[in-house]
Structure 1
Amino acid sequence: FSLQFGNRTLILELKLNDELLPKDFTTSTYTDNGEIIMEKPKLQDRNHCYYQGKVRNIKGSHVIMSTCNGLRGCITLPNDFLLIEPLGADSSKHVVYRPSDRRLNNIESCGNEEHTDDHFSENVDKFAGMLRGNSPHRHKRQTSTEKKFLELLIVADKAQVSRSKHTRIELDSRVKELVNYLHGFYKKLSIHVVLSHIEVWSSRDKIPLKTNAKEVLNEFLSYRQNKIRTDSVDSPWRYTDNAQLLYGGSFDGTTIGMASVKTMCSSRSGGVNQDHQSNVFYTAATLAHEMGHNFGMHHDSSECVCAQNAQCIMAASSGFGSTKDWSSCSKDYLAQSIREGLGNCLLNVPDPSRLYGGPKCGNDIVEMGEECDCGGIEECSSLCCNATTCKLNPGAKCETGPCCLSCQYSPPGHVCRGTDNKDCDLAEYCTGFSANCPGNVYMENGSPCNNKQAYCSDGICLTHDMQCQGVWGDGAVSGVDICYQQVNKLGNWNGNCGKDLNGNFLKCTKENSKCGKLQCSGGGPRPMVGRDRYSFVNTIGGIHKCKTISSDDNATDVSDPGLVRDGTACGTMKTCNDGECSALPAMTCSATCNGNGICNNLGNCHCNRGWAPPFCNSEGNGGSINSGPITNKQSKSLNLYILVMPTKTRCIGSSSYLKVLLHTDTKNRTPIVMSITQPSRPPIVSTNVQNTPSRPPPPRPLAPPQVSVSVTPIRTAPPPPKPPTVPPPVPSFPPPNVQPPLPPPPPPTVPASKPPVPQPPAPKPSSTPSKPVVTRPPVPSFVSKQPIKPDNPTNNQPPPPPSKPPLPPAGKPPPPVSKKPTPDKVIS
């Protein structure tokens, strides 16, 4: 598209947003008698018109556009921000304007308010919330750089349907346009938002919808929790990561949205958003803001820095300023949440068949029929992928991915996603036949952690100490029990168990006291979260001091980081749930693992090393059907055979040699070693061993390269057909009973029982075959904090017979390759 704006001509280069809708995208409505109607749009109905791209020849530009019934969208330039939409009902005429040209009647705000007034009282200090840098001992997980996908469910209430301009088709189009904007916002954070389902309350609302935003939020989250518990396994409510209500009414005051804080991937992951403007861009910005709260982001303070001329998405109040962007504080909050495991559900990469639309080579997305996709010809720098055909180069098995190393699959058992020593997480391992890491799994809810002093909740071991450190920094710990009992029974700003629907503080009973206000001691003098807040210091009995933070009377409990989080242990087999200490549900899954493993969050056994899934009742490689194998016993047996057998096979060709040793299971694509020499059965280990994976076995030698790659590839034609793979040659051996030439007379006497010794430096054959050099892949730095002992080959094979010389020592593996983590930005 070519766009004329003032004296400038802007040429928009757009690509269809292939990640917007999955192929199994569905919608649902309800009949008058309450029956649900689930619909999967036909292919012709799923053809959407939502694009993203850039302005030609303008670096740093970004375009989000809809071409449905005219052009609607936004154009971000280095020093400008423009909106475009049809002029009236005529879709052939458009208006381009800056948001600052419009004016608000009222200042619109988020319902998750945080205190900003100046106020002091005895033993009360007011501090600006600042997120400080990480301590030196904190390390980023690999998951901080993994591509993340958020599967979103949108609910439209009856008021949305009742709007005169919102027919069902128009409503669906408005939701898709909204999520297209949302995708653009979150793509800057390496999070790809996918619209998985739209639920329309066409006949009547499924929850009471009033004007109190907090009440609507609580009702909506309760509705989501109930749908997760009661719906069938294939219900979109069960496999989506986040749910947002698009509210057609108006909330009280200036509130236009509200959400739970730091609940992403849990059953309370969601928010409510008022559809408050005709231009859906502003509603999308509101939804991005509320979803930011789900990720653990708080409102921006004056210390938070946004891009030049941009309005911070997490500002407490919205406005028609300029482009929307994430502040430095928002990025730090997100990084902290990801480190704590909050984004576990985002690491499951959708299957290519689920992504919307047909394959389009050059969009950097591997789709059906493509072997790889490294982007356009100009931007592709891959040595593994042909950018013209989206096919792998000859000899390559993969292009990119955590289980792809130098265009080849990493061996089975190679750790592709570690646990960073987190109690509730489970490591994932490469399978040997895929470049992708298996989907993220973790221990089932209720599993004991923290030395059996806490319980896992959605992959996180929630403790009072951890939450105190999140508010007050390193060195902070939870206060003594008497602090919780004496302060939280007051039912005021200082101590409470949340608020009722009327905004009144609730007093904690003794049993629920550790589920109310978080009571801490130690740490820094200033809270690290939120905007300006009250800080209370309480002295109990003249001995015990504990401190809390709080907001003003208008704040909502769901946005208060000073409250104990749901899932925190409050007693034996009890955890907090909405301010109450509740008993954990019975756990029956792990009983099926025969004492040799534990259950993951998907209800499958994660077996200890040496036991085979799915029930851990037979010898195997450990792990689960979801995580990949912990070890690769087949590879160890194969390596042993390669070291021992050459003296017996001598001149047998490498192809037939491997054919005798290997039998391929075509269904599972896993090589099975047909060797009578099997490794000894590993010892039974504790259930926590899977968090410290073993060193991966060395891979088989790769085939020699069969194609030369130019530094600047010119792709004018598809590559020639892939030639057959030539296996590596077997080391040559001298024929039997043939001695190498001896040095000049007088010749030394060589005993018959000893092999002749070759004389360096002249290259002379030896009667002792050379041991193949086994190259081990580098061990990721995040695998284990413990040093890994090098293998001792002499312990893994029997000693050679006396008539044969000892094998030369195996080459040492290359040192582990570790990347220096990029330090987080420190806000001062």
Structure 2
Amino acid sequence: LRTPLLLLGLWVVLAPTQCSQGRPSWRYISSEVVIPTKELHHSKAVRAAGWLSYSLRFGGQRHVLHMRRKRLFWPGQLVMMTQDDQGALQVDYPFVPLDCYYLGYLEDVPLSMVTVDTCYGGLEGILKVDDLAYEIKPLKDSQRFEHIISQIVADTNAIGPMSSLGHKAERYPLFSDQNPSAASRVSSKIYASHIGAMKGCLMSAHSIYTLYNNVSQCAQYLVHLGSMIDAMFRSLNMRYYIGLLIIYNVREPTDMNNYKVPGGPFANDYARNIHKHYLPYPGIIVKRDGPHEVNFKPELYTLCGNRNLIFLGQLSRHYLLLSIIASNQIGTTFGLWLDTVECVCQRRATCIMYRYPVLTDSFSNCSFQHTAHVLNNNIQLCLFQERGQLVYSNSSLTTIRCGNSVVENEEQCDCGTFKQCYSNTCCESDCRFSPGSICNRETCCTNCTQAPAGTLCRPIQNICDLPEYCMGKDTNCPSDFYLQDGTPCTEDGYCYEGNCTDRSMHCKEIFGEGALSAPDVCYSINKKGHRFGHCKVTIGFAPQRCADADVMCGRLQCVNVTHLPRLQEHVGFHHSIIGESLCFGVGAHRGTESTDVGAVRSGTPCGGGKFCLKGFCNATLAAIDYNCPPSKCNYRGVCNNNRNCHCHVGWDPPLCINSGAGGSVDSGPAPRRRRSVRAGGMSLVYLRVVFGRSLALIAALLFGVAMNDQAIRPASVPGGPGPSS
């Protein structure tokens, strides 16, 4: 039971967060102490792997939270920078947890949202139940896993009015002059695109740092803000990753009261020293005393450029409110404009792109429509570049640590978490080899030591590939080798960079047995310049149509397809009637990290003594320079891409003259087929006993047969009748 004294203590804890000059624009209207109970099963039936579930009672009823871990930081690296004594930026290494952020929902509450982290011994974050917003955080020094859950309310003008987008030419650059509400309506349930990824830069002005006077706590504040932004953009099928954290902990880098972008002092500093080197999209600087959003207006369609800086005024507001403002302004830089009265979002009274969004977490159906127009016009292409493509010059020690399953710096091995290390006999939890071990998970590591020579470590992948074997001297498999370019693989194809260039074989790999290469007329689709017909794509996927000379080097076209294969997720196919042929092909997509199997492979002949190279028919067959006649390897092997002999089993490299195991000097020796068996002393005794008893049994059987034959042989009777005359 809660006592008045406990409530008074809660008010003392919560009061500092709502103090502001004048009347606060937000407040807690209720607070409860709850003890979340971990549920063993996801939902009411089947347990799902990777999910956490907690049961707790608040708002007058019991709720079950279902959450799944999410990746919040840009894949591969997180750079964090602070200032040195002179105010210059430097890479810093405070502790920033990486793998304790969760996104989920409340059971039986449609379109509810749970965004919490478990980084500091409890649940901390935001719960959205329709238009109600709750904050949950651990009760300090509690011994019973107690938490405080408080309902947040905000005035209508706590956010906004959001700055309008200006005159009509600025507002509707991609649309006709008709009323946008009269355009086709897009459902607000699911936006069917491929995931776009923003690499965000979150910056704390010195005025924000003074609220904490602690770099780690200030970083935690920025991470909470970024986690909420990520949760909101998921409804648009986009992800917000934190790639760069900057904390101005000594002084402001320049005049922070000029909010002009571009041209302002801080905007120029950001473009010159931050965006140029780290390429974030977008950059957000949080200031304590402004600007209010009515005084700052980001530019449309600037998300992928160096003018994507957003000034965010804290003004004593909760980070939930700031995340809504940030999402609205990021949406503007992406190309979304403010919602009109016709725009709606499911189970929410207001939407993120409203002029007064208040406490919401949802984009409207109008925002979905605007997103589709932006993506179809290939404007924000940076959202679809490969994650990890941009490499920082400095990497942060927040990702270089023992226990992340990646061997880094001075580590000998890395077995992962304590639970994973418990079952690993080769590697200790301190990232050192266990006594007597020299390897852990390397491809040529067996029982914590080097695998014997001849152990297969990389099998053949296709007709043009070669196997690799362990050398017996190293724990890593040799490099990947394949047949020399120009080696025949079928009657119509040859090997090139490890693949067979036979178009019909390529069609069979995709559509199954019976599929054949299409006639030339089908390849005219490559002049269209869409995802099913093109020769190349630009960064972010903008298909480029093929020139007449290159149509045979775009997307592969097949005929005689009798059934459709199981393709990778998000990969589609087309079937088109062109001329008298029913042509089939596989499309390419932006934003997917799947392998593109539908492009004509480099090395494929395209006519006139030329072959395809990266989508163009401009490479000559003479450049392949195939020089491996059968006599080079004495008719007992083939040549690899190093132009060395890979001998058949039974012949030794390098020239396959002498008998041996096979293989090559590059890919290791093949295993010897003859095997010896060592027998122990007891085994020999048992073998002798069995052999001796078997011989005795056989002798007894033969003796018995002989005696039986003698017993039944007929005998002659003396004095019997003689022969007749």
Shorter chain as normaliser: what TM range? Answer: 0.3 to 0.5
- Looking at secondary structure, tell me which structure has more helix per residue: 2
TM-score (norm 1): 0.40
Larger radius of gyration: 2
